[in-house]
Structure 1
Amino acid sequence: MHANERTANLLGATALAVADLALAGLTRAAGTSASGAAALVVLSTAPRLSVTELGRRVGLSQSAAARMVDSLEAAELVRRRTGAGREVAVELTPGGREAGSRLLTARSKPLHDLVSVLDPDERDVLAGLLAKLLTRLYAEVGSAELLCRLCDRAGCTSGAVCPVGQAERDRMA
């Protein structure tokens, strides 16, 4: 197997396994779907989004987003509020804020455990490589909100610049 093919294959296997680890903890922590979990995380940093905008940020059509919000509302994690004109805004309930916090904790634990096998220098190298890959992924996806829908934003920007946010700012410049 060619070195580039092997690297791509290793990345694919790692990406899938990491996603499985992170998503399993998320869905258990909130008792909701992966898109519902993403919606709670998004609403924790961007309160009172329309159903359509929330759907866009978590990668759902308007009708799928409406069904997801129905489910989250039935679980008393979000509530709808009338906005300007016909717009309906979605906001977290106190239980939704608590669930969002549990989600980020559940997401971070397996990821912290995984990178703990690396020494500090290796973690720094990995962080640089991941930043480079995320910048490239932003060029492909074109939406920081969608790409970072499950991010712990404070964890990403504490003492550093978010590579996805920087890629978006660079694109807008």
Structure 2
Amino acid sequence: MIGEMIYVFCMHINLVANKVGALVTALSDVLTSPQYSSSSDAALVTLFHRQPISVTSLAQILGLTQSATTRLVQRLKSEKLIQQQDMSGRERLLSLSKEGEQIAAALGKFRLDRIAKILSPLSDDDRQALDRIVSSLLINLVEDETHARHMCRHCDHGICRGEACPVGSEIRRKEKMEKSHDSEA
């Protein structure tokens, strides 16, 4: 009896995991911009919310190597979507051009509109339940501030900030615990 219950539980977990995998794949397909790669999209949206930032910071947020980010920056610069300001040494600060800002805003709107359409059949209660579940999963995934920035590279930081952002809230909670632990040592 217990063995059968464990088997059913494991099969259910695997079924849920499989469905989540299919959902992630479908969402990725639906949210991919027809004009820009995922990296270009993320770079433009990141710059929209965090400009000016260095190439190194952008590479960390995007999860790309320095050389891959440099190639991406050169491509976006050749399309006149970003501009760079040379700083001391080899470091450069990146920001969006006017056209880049318009495109980044449009990319953000595209993603939010697509997600809103996907969520539209859900009842208010289901949306609230989904919000709680997604928040719990995000909290469980976040490791540190660098990882949080990578996780949220497509986020609209004007919508999801402060206590509304489970990722940022978890980072602040971890930092507070770390400071408390350091002061006890």
TM-score between the two structures when normalised by the length of structure 2: 0.85
1:87 and 1:71 map into 2 onto residues whose CA distance is: 18
Q: Is the 8 A contact 1:41 1:149 kept in 2?
A: yes
CA contact (8 A) 1:141 1:147 kept: no
2:76 pairs, out of 72, 88, 111, with 72
User: Alignment RMSD, CA only?
Assistant: 1.8
Counterpart of 1:83 in structure 2 is 87
Question: How far apart, in 1, do the equivalents of 2:31 and 2:145 lie?
Answer: 20
Say whether residues 1:116 and 2:111 are aligned partners.
no
Task: Tell me the distance in 2 between the aligned counterparts of 1:45 and 1:56.
Answer: 15
Q: Please list the CA deviations of residues 118-143 of structure 1 after superposition, one character each: whole Å capped at 9, or x if unmatched.
A: 00011000000000001111139961
Determine if contact 2:84/2:93 at 8 Å carries over to the other structure.
yes
Q: Give the counterpart of 1:143 among 132, 144, 147.
A: 147
Match of 1:96 among 96, 100, 112: 100
- The offset of 1:112, in angstroms, is 0.3
Q: d(CA) in 1 for partners of 2:16 and 2:61? A: 30
1:169 equivalent in alignment to 2:178: no
- The answer for unaligned runs of 5 or more in structure 1 is none
Q: Percent identity?
A: 31
Q: Counterpart of 2:95 in 1: which secondary structure?
A: strand
Partner of 2:181: none
AA aligned to 1:115 is L
2:18 pairs with 1:9: yes
Residue of structure 1 equivalent to 2:183: none
TM-score with structure 1 length normalisation? Answer: 0.90
Deviations 1:34-75 (A, max 9, x none): 111101111111112111111111111000000000000011
Measure, in 1, the Cα distance between the counterparts of 2:144 and 2:53.
25
User: For 1:156, what is the secondary structure of its paired residue?
Assistant: coil
- Deviation at residue 154 of structure 1 after TM alignment: 2.0
Pairing of 1:147-162 with structure 2 (within 5 A) = 147-157=151-161, 161-162=164-165
Of 48, 52, 57 in structure 1, the residue corresponding to residue 52 of structure 2 is: 48
Distance 1:56 1:93, change over 3 A: same
Q: 2:31, 2:114 within 8 Å by CA — same for their partners in 1? A: yes
CA–CA distance in structure 2, aligned partners of residues 40 and 149 of structure 1: 9
Q: Do the aligned partners of 1:38 and 1:150 also contact (CA within 8 Å) in 2?
A: yes
- Which residue number corresponds to residue 22 of structure 1? 31
Residue 100 of structure 1: how far off its partner (Å): 0.6
